[in-house]
Amino acid sequence: MQKMLDICAEFGHKWDICFNAKKSQILTLGGNKPANCRLFLDSRLIAWTSKVKYLGIHILAGVIHKVDITDTKRKYYGCFNSILSVCGKSRNELASLHFVKSYCLPRLLYGCKGMLLSTLQTRKLHIIWNNAFRYILTVVGVNR
Q: What is the mean pLDDT of residues 99-117?
A: 83
pLDDT at 113: 73
Burial class, 129, CB count within 10 angstroms (exposed 0-12 / middle 13-18 / buried 19+): middle
Return the pLDDT at 137. 84
Is residue 92 within 8 A of residue 99, CB to CB? The reply is no
Classify the C-alpha dihedral 78-136-94-113 as positive or negative: positive
- Quick one: pLDDT at residue 139? 65
Mean pLDDT over 72-83 rounds to 91
- C-alpha angle with apex 136: 68 to 112, nearest 5 degrees? 25
Question: Is residue 52 over pLDDT 90?
Answer: no
Chain-wide mean pLDDT for the chain? 84
pTM tops 0.75, yes or no:
no
